[in-house]
Amino acid sequence: MSDVYLTYMPGGRWAISRTIADKSVYLIQDSYMDDEADIYIVLQALGITTSLENLNRYFSTRKGKGRCPTLELLELFLRIGDSTRSKDSHIGV
């Protein structure tokens, strides 16, 4: 594994990126999603049921403007990548 943990971002946030089904998905803790459709791609890749409870847990809302990935979600995403990543650091669904 080349990543020790998540990538540190200025402002005390963490980030991770993966390629899922030929699409690059970038997650930055507590930052709005550029494409909210990626929320469903991430949940599906992690095997998490899409429910309001799970959306609120893993993609909290910030000031009513949009959903942001939580640190808990980034850590789950990192572990899934560790166990299924190929040599080119991509996972496929």
The least confident of 8-12, 21-25, 66-70, 78-82 is 78-82
How does pLDDT run across 1-58, given as a tens digit for each residue?
444 578 988 888 999 998 888 888 999 999 999 899 999 999 999 999 999 999 999 9
Between 79 and 78, name the one with better pLDDT.
78
Paired tokens of 29: 């803790």
Measure the CA–CA gap between 73 and 27, rounded to whole angstroms.
9
Q: Is residue 58 within 8 Å of 72, Cβ to Cβ? A: yes
pLDDT at 89 over 80: no
What pLDDT, on the 0 to 100 scale, is given for residue 80? 67
